[in-house]
Amino acid sequence: MAKSTENQKNNSSNKLPATDVTSLVSKSTLKLIKESSMIFKGTLIKKGASNMSVIPANENLAIAKVESGLRVDPGLGDIKGMEITMAMQKPNSLALNKEAIFFTNAWIHGDGISVTEVAHLEIDDKENIIGDSNNILEVIKRLPETYLKERIQEASLIVSGEILRITKVENQRLDRDAPIWAKASVRVEDILKGKVAGNEFDLFFPTSIARRWYNSPRFTIRQRGIFLIQPTTKTYFLEQRQADLVILTALNPLDFQQESQLELIKNLLIN
């Protein structure tokens, strides 16, 4: 029989507290961090300009010199000292030679780097900021754990177990965006959150390579790990009696974790 390690505080019915990173930065800054693929500390050195041949200069552009990269695609290497073309949200909101932390997303990479600005936080002469650069860097380091904690909060069922069988699912829609479900029979070994009847349950997972489903976990027989489960009624089944069913899914890349993550997940459930 599957055992339950759900703690005495009944975590399954209570929301977890706000993620720890909210003690380091404001909620608005945390939102900016999550929305930005490239974050750097730097200075505007020229407005209405571009240093990339494929991007003509216009009044919404500016060139920023990077003092330090806080969140950067490793493929770009060290961007310290680089001059980056940036499409600004409000070009007149920051003076030339004024330091700021820029929250941006990648735009065009070619004979240089260009980004589109999400927002910036201005740094004053005493190096103070709403959420300073050191705290922002620490938040970025903690993002993987932060995202995992959010998935744990959202999951209705979390179990450790093993895939016993994979079976084909009949009577599905096969349109372009359909998931093309397969069904995994999961043997439950430990219940970390929620309830499940018996020692097994069926977990539906997409096999389609369509963009919507491309990063969803794909399962194999005898695969062991920790499953973060969400029910869904969007089944894509053809028959109406099936279309009204509620099925269990694990669609986010974080919804399957290796067994080595068990203690971390238990700690995130408690804290």
Question: What tens digit of pLDDT does each residue of 172-198 get?
Answer: 888 888 899 999 999 999 999 999 989
Number of domains forming the structure of the chain = 2
Residue whose token pair is 């009044």: 59
Please, are residues 156 and 194 in contact by the beta-carbon 8 Å criterion? yes
> 152: which residues sit within 8 A by CB, 6+ positions away?
16, 158, 193, 228, 265, 268, 269
Q: Tell me the pTM.
A: 0.70
Residue whose token pair is 């450790």: 160
pLDDT of residue 175: 83
CATH number at residue 198: 2.40.50.120
- Asked if residue 13 has pLDDT above 50, the reply is no
User: Could you tell me if 229 and 163 lie in one domain?
Assistant: yes
Beta strands in the chain (DSSP E): 3-4, 38-47, 61-71, 83-87, 99-109, 113-122, 157-168, 181-193, 200-206, 224-232, 247-249, 256-257
53 alpha carbon, distance to own chain's centre: 33
Domain boundary among 98, 130, 162: 130
- Asked if residue 113 has pLDDT above 70, the reply is yes
User: Could you tell me if 83 and 164 lie in one domain?
Assistant: no
Question: What tens digit of pLDDT does each residue of 40-70 get?
Answer: 999 999 999 999 999 999 999 999 999 999 9
The Cα 252–Cα 259 span in angstroms is 17
The Cα 69–Cα 137 span in angstroms is 9
Would you call 66 exposed, middle or buried from its count of C-beta atoms within 10 A (0-12, 13-18, 19+)? buried
pLDDT of residue 110: 82
21 assigned to some structural domain: no
Task: Tell me the Ramachandran region of residue 14: left when phi exceeds 0, alpha when psi lies from -120 to 50, beta otherwise.
Answer: beta
Domain membership of residue 234 as a residue range: 149-270
User: Could you tell me if 155 and 265 lie in one domain?
Assistant: yes
- Asked if residue 83 has pLDDT above 90, the reply is yes
